Amino acid sequence: MLELTGIEAWYGGIQALKGISLHVDKGEIVTLIGSNGAGKSTTLKSISGQVPIKKGSIFYNGKDIANIAAHKTAVLGISQVPEGRRIFPKLSVRENLLIGAFAVKDKQLIETRMEKVFEYFPRLKERVEQKGGTMSGGEQQMLAIGRALMMQPEVLMLDEPSMGLAPIIVEQIFEIIKELNKQGMTILLVEQNAFQALQIASRGYVIQTGEIVLEGTGEELITNKQVQEAYLA
Ligand code: ATP
């Protein structure tokens, strides 16, 4: 469904990705793990068109989407929940969700999708008129995921959804990710919380300084000695 081959990306003179190749198949939860600065976020951003690719290809359902404009990837079916949530703090929950549906013109369809988001996150419904910035970290993460769901993506990419959240909220977020996947959504998950990510993942890749150094099923990686020492200790 999604296939990256030899992706190279730079920030000015710094090479952040040194030939990343990976694939995500329909219905999978694939996780990217690695330490700070390894290149996990840049990999997601290269897919969503937020970071230019110098070399390599990205095929999505047979179409080359390398260096496509960011808003177009969402229209094609790939939505991203960014690191740090990036919700609009001065806008209400409802307004934040409407922004997520930027490419949907049909008002009824927008309402239907919003109701679907509320089924996953009843808390958002309770707070529909509340300003995003006044909500807790967990609620803001729910809103960021809800906003991405408004485009009804085929592939949902999440960048560190557990960051800064209490363990009980992290559990809830991971339950929702599992549920979305059960309903048929393909997931590409970037996490520092490697243990929890690998527990729900079909497969995973370990990224180190812009390169993939290991890949395997969630089970294989969680029991791998190198992974245990570096990321699960
Ligand atoms: P983190 O969990 O800290 O976000 P990461 O694995 O997602 O880590 P990236 O954010 O992809 O890593 O960063 C990869 C490399 O690119 C790092 O060396 C980082 O310093 C660099 N980098 C990331 N964003 C920028 C930027 N906007 N300008 C310059 N360098 C950047």
Q: Is residue 69 part of a domain?
A: yes
- pLDDT tens digits along 115-169: 999 999 999 999 999 999 999 999 999 999 999 999 999 999 999 999 999 999 9
Tokens, residue 189:
């998950």
Atom nearest to 41 CA in ligand 1: 7
CATH of the domain at 12: 3.40.50.300
Q: Is residue 223 part of a domain?
A: yes
Q: Is residue 8 part of a domain?
A: yes
Structure confidence at residue 3 (pLDDT): 98
The answer, yes or no, to whether any atom of ligand 1 lies below 6 A from the CB of 40, is yes
The answer, yes or no, to whether any atom of ligand 1 lies below 6 A from the CB of 41, is yes
Structural domain boundaries enclosing 175:
2-87+154-202+211-232
Atom nearest to 35 CA in ligand 1: 6
Strand partners, 212: 207
The answer, yes or no, to whether any atom of ligand 1 lies below 6 A from the CB of 37, is yes
The answer, yes or no, to whether any atom of ligand 1 lies below 6 A from the CB of 38, is yes
Q: Is residue 153 within 8 Å of 78, Cβ to Cβ?
A: yes
Kindly report the pTM of this predicted structure: 0.95
Structure confidence at residue 103 (pLDDT): 86
Q: What is the dihedral of CA 41, 206, 31, 51, to 10 degrees?
A: 20
For residue 152, the CA-to-ligand 1 centroid distance in Å is 28
Q: Is residue 160 part of a domain?
A: yes
Q: Is residue 92 part of a domain?
A: no
Nearest CA, atom 28, ligand 1:
11
For residue 152, the SS3 value is coil
What is the separation, in whole angstroms, between the first and last Cα of the chain? 33
- Among 10, 14, 47, which residue has the most ligand 1 atoms within 8 Å of its CB, making it the best to mutate? 14
- Among 4, 41, 53, which residue has the most ligand 1 atoms within 8 Å of its CB, making it the best to mutate? 41
Q: Is residue 17 part of a domain?
A: yes
Q: Is residue 94 part of a domain?
A: no
Structure confidence at residue 44 (pLDDT): 97
For residue 37, the CA-to-ligand 1 centroid distance in Å is 5
The answer, yes or no, to whether any atom of ligand 1 lies below 6 A from the CB of 168, is no
What's the structural domain count of the chain? 1
**Segments in the chain below pLDDT 50:** none
For residue 82, the CA-to-ligand 1 centroid distance in Å is 13
Q: Is residue 182 part of a domain?
A: yes
For residue 52, the CA-to-ligand 1 centroid distance in Å is 14
